Amino acid sequence: MAILPIDTGRYGTKEMLRIFDEENRLQTMLDVEAALAWAHSEVGNIPRKDAKKIMETTSRKHIKLSRVKQIESEIRHDVMAMVRALAEICGSSGAYVHLGATSSDILDTATALQLKDALKLIEEKLNDFETVLMNGAERYKKTIMMGRTHGQHALPITLGLKFAVWMRETARHIQRIQECSKRVVVGKMGGAVGTQAGLGSHATEIQKLAMKKLGVNIVDVSTQIVQRDRYAELICLLAVIASTLDKISTEIRQLQRTEIGEVFEFFEKERQVGSSTMPHKRDPQTCETICGLAKIMRSLVAPALENIPTWHERDMTQSSAERFIIPQACILVDHMLFLMTEVLTTLHIDEEKMLRNMKLTQGRMMSEAVMLALTRKGMNRQKAHELVRKLAMKSHIEKSLFKTSLSEDRIIRDMLGEGEVNKALNPENYLGTAVRQVEQAVKKTKQERKARGLTD
């Protein structure tokens, strides 16, 4: 019975859901058991024929999830249920299943296998998202619009600069994912308290062989469990990625407000419904969904951090929380990246509205440019600021053009000619290095992508 929206199919891509479904979780545990048996045979601990039998049997073709669950309902131990289901199919070779291992060896290494695949998917989506942002930065690098601080009109900016900022933030996330993967995709064969006593004299070699076969890194040292600072780092990172997507979505939602109307989510006019009662509504529903899911993502950080402390060499306070937070974090971030990429790929830009909005303050947005023009003529910066501030307030109160207030002031007339005032009031003259910053950011991103083996 499906209850949560991940279970019902509302959230989650098929690829990521497949990694964390029950069947695949069982298969990863079986893969670890197979690698363990093979490693034992390589060092001479068990006969090769028995290792081969175990390896041939460790698949869902032979080990059914229903049988594992049946055994678990009787003995109330998930790993031992899998071990017994595997051993009973292996016949006499079953005597060597799980030899020298503890439950966490299997569980934590199986988690490493899942995270290996999950982080690969997330990195791929980050790469795709970076491409969309890079294309947007290049396309809109000269698209002038109103920059806002504190929700108020500030100075002119370009839409491309916004895209470039998001692009470089995404580039940092890709770097973080790559670094974090080295510390998170780790497995172990340490036995009950991490001493490897049950694995015998070849314990170190068994661990090395098994992890190499599985394609995961080996822990430096561990107790009964892989230390949870690793998973905490991952959950924190995924929450940071989610917060970036939250930031971008919030910006789009704000710019889609009726009063602003500069960018819009794609809306299927023929079929899509914005409201059950207001037929005219065209809401930024996808962006709002992303913002909502970001709240859930940030909420997962606390239990991830709480999982770091443990009683002595291990307790079970981590496992119940991790059954939620690890799959949930990977599934939601992957889904959010999918949604955000789709939003930006189909985003509608109203450049005419951007230009109209810039006129709302009747030229006052260029007050800094006027102030600096005065300082270049020799006026004290503080005096110039106060003079221009008073003239801007006069324009605001009288609802008159800022240019009119400037032209009526004797000091302004004495220090600046009409041509200089017009130049200062032209927003296209006050973009600073915005275009160059975008070009440099795109150049750097392309270099990094080439280094990562990407050709686009």
Q: Which residues are catalytic?
A: 150, 275
Give the CA count within 13 Å in the CB-facing half-sphere of 269.
1
Residues 228, 310 contacting (CB under 8 angstroms):
yes
**Both ends of the chain: CA-CA distance in Å?**
44
68-107: burial string, b at 16+ Cβ within 10 Å, e else: beebbeeeeebbebbbbbbbebbeebbebbbbbbbbbbbb
With H, G, I as helix, E, B as strand and everything else as coil, classify residue 336: helix
Residues 194, 222 contacting (CB under 8 angstroms):
yes
The residue type of 15 is: E
Indicate the helix (H) or strand (E) that contains 287: helix 285-299
> Tokens 């239990």, residue?
303
Strand 263-264, strand 217-218: pairing: unpaired
Burial zone of 239 (CB within 10 Å; 0-12 exposed, 13-18 middle, 19+ buried): buried
Tokens of 434: 């915005």
What is the distance between the alpha carbons of residues 48 and 33, in angstroms, rounded to a whole number?
15
State the CB neighbour count (10 A cutoff) for residue 270: 5
The residue type of 113 is: L
> What is the Rg, in whole angstroms, of the alpha carbon atoms belonging to the chain?
30
